[in-house]
Amino acid sequence: MKFLLAQINPVVGDLEGNAKKILYITSKAGSISADLVLTPELSLWGYPANDLLLKRNLIKNQYQILDQLASDIHKKYRNLSVTVGIAEIINDSFFPNLYNSIALIDRGEWKIIARKIILPTYEVFDEKRYFRSGEKVSVLTKEINNKTWRLGFTICEDLWVNKNIDGRGIHKKNPIFDLKKKKVDILVNLSASPYTFKKLELRAKVSSFAAQYLQVPLIYVNQIGANDNLIFDGNSFILNKNGSTIKQLKSFSEDLFSWNIEETKPQKNKFENSEMSSIFDALVLGIRDYAHKCGFKTALIGLSGGIDSALVSAIATAALGSKNIYCVSMPSKWSSSHSKSDAKDLARRLKINFNSIPIEKLMSSFEESFVKTISFEMAEITNQNIQSRIRGTLLMALANQEKHLLLSTGNKSELAVGYCTLYGDMNGGLSVIGDLYKTNVFKLCNWLDSEDSIQHRKSYMLDTNVNIIGENIRTKAPSAELGPNQLDTDSLPPYSILDGILKGIIEEKKDLQQLEEDGYKKELILKIISLIKKAEFKRKQAPPILKLSSQSLGSDWRVPIAISY
């Protein structure tokens, strides 16, 4: 039996376009005489479709498109079978009235062969808003070359019920245990599993457990592409019954692979990546897909000469190409000479478009207008925020005029404690590094300027003969440069300390006592908690944040603004 694994990048809501992509893939399958094409979870919709699933006209169109797709495949490729992820209507009066299902296209018709049983409601997932759980595990019986095969089908989270891995196993049902009784010949998992740190290791563990438990090979097909704040990494794979990898597909890229079920010998993985390279790849894909799927061809960045905007500029250049990146330096009277020259030098190394718009005169006119009209003399913090908002206004004006995608450059540490200005440096259509702590920003920049990144820089057509970020930017003390001789440490503890506390609070959900046991001082912990709480209203108005961790400060951070605890 020959499978074609189709690791594809669907566009959310583009049912016709996604169907055309699946039809194109079947041409590849037909040319190699494949028996079954496997596409990811909700492949006809793209994942996550969210409230598009509530639109009745789209649900209705889905079935017409599926009928046409089945007819087209049969006319051209006769007996080729294809799995397609759909939203199946439940014909009763209850809500939600959909299943997250897999349809099998076969001989000009289609039928439902699997329904998702375990519906995740953690992190960014909210599937119980749209779907009901399937009631039983799914086995497809298929006869190929006079042999009958029993294929067990699971959908994404159905594979993740494992009490020994990452706190899983809290569900009442376990599809993998139930499939043991069905005596399947192979296990298939069709997924839309977003990238986060260490996700690949966890997938390998749950999948290896399932393959060994059932003593059958396992095929895992994952979606790739970025949809809003979520980045899907692909990394589809095939395991043998011992849990060893037979084949690993590409990371962060569409990929097809043909596999005969008789081939069980493990192959060497050609796509091994470091943590830093995976983060870089993820953010590049995040910008590229967000821009392309939202109709942007160019990106705009406020380039300060600091490390955050430098990193965002490098990632954006890799994503969209140097000719499509526009950077603007907006120095004030407090901007150091090295920051101005560092910004210009970075733009030269990246070969991106660069302009400078000094804001000192604009700042003076603001101060003069306030004093003359309402006798209002700006306090230090107000003065600093006005500078940031002048820059934000200039950037938004340029973005509006030239139809650029404005990229926000704030990091997770700043967003967490509110060390950012609403309607100023927080302006933008996408927050690129908003899920990277400042210490990780430094790590990623150090990697990018090291020999370890050479192959990556080549693949993205970045210069390999120079340091991209540059030593001056990587080694300077962090500063917003909104006041005389200002440093971040004037207001915050060193990032090496701050980020440890933030990670403990945000991702590890530690309380005061646990953080004290980790060695942090009580007064500092309470200060950081207070800063996080006070900045909540800012984060609710921030652009979408590309998600990298198990807990970003974006759509999966659901803390109320008006609280007391």
- 57 CB-contact burial (10 Å; exposed 0-12 / middle 13-18 / buried 19+): exposed
Cα–Cα distance for residue pair 266/262, rounded to 1 Å: 12
- Cβ proximity of 82 and 39 under 8 Å: yes
> Which one, of 432, 410, 430, lies nearest residue 422 by Cα?
410
* CA-to-CA dists, residue 217 to 114, 175, 237, 342, angstroms: 19, 16, 11, 54
Locate the DSSP E strands across 79-175: 81-89, 98-106, 109-115, 138-144, 147-155
Bridge partners (DSSP) of residue 224 are 233
Name the phi and psi angles at 92, rounded to 5: -145, -175
With H, G, I as helix, E, B as strand and everything else as coil, classify residue 152.
strand
- Omega cis (within 30) before 478: no
Locate tokens 């913090």: which residue? Answer: 381
Give me the active site residues, please. 41, 116, 156
CB-based contacts of 420: which residues, under 8 Å, 6+ apart? Answer: 410, 414, 426, 535, 538
C-alpha dihedral over 531, 533, 534, 536, to 10 degrees?
120
Reduced 3-state DSSP string for 402-435: HCCEEEECCCHHHHHHCCCCCCCCCCCCEECCCC
CA angle 277, 449, 425 (to 5 degrees): 80
Q: Is the dihedral of CA 233, 239, 244, 248 positive or negative?
A: negative
Name the phi and psi angles at 85, rounded to 5: -80, 125
- Cβ proximity of 407 and 318 under 8 Å: no
- Cβ proximity of 383 and 508 under 8 Å: no
Cα–Cα distance for residue pair 432/413, rounded to 1 Å: 13
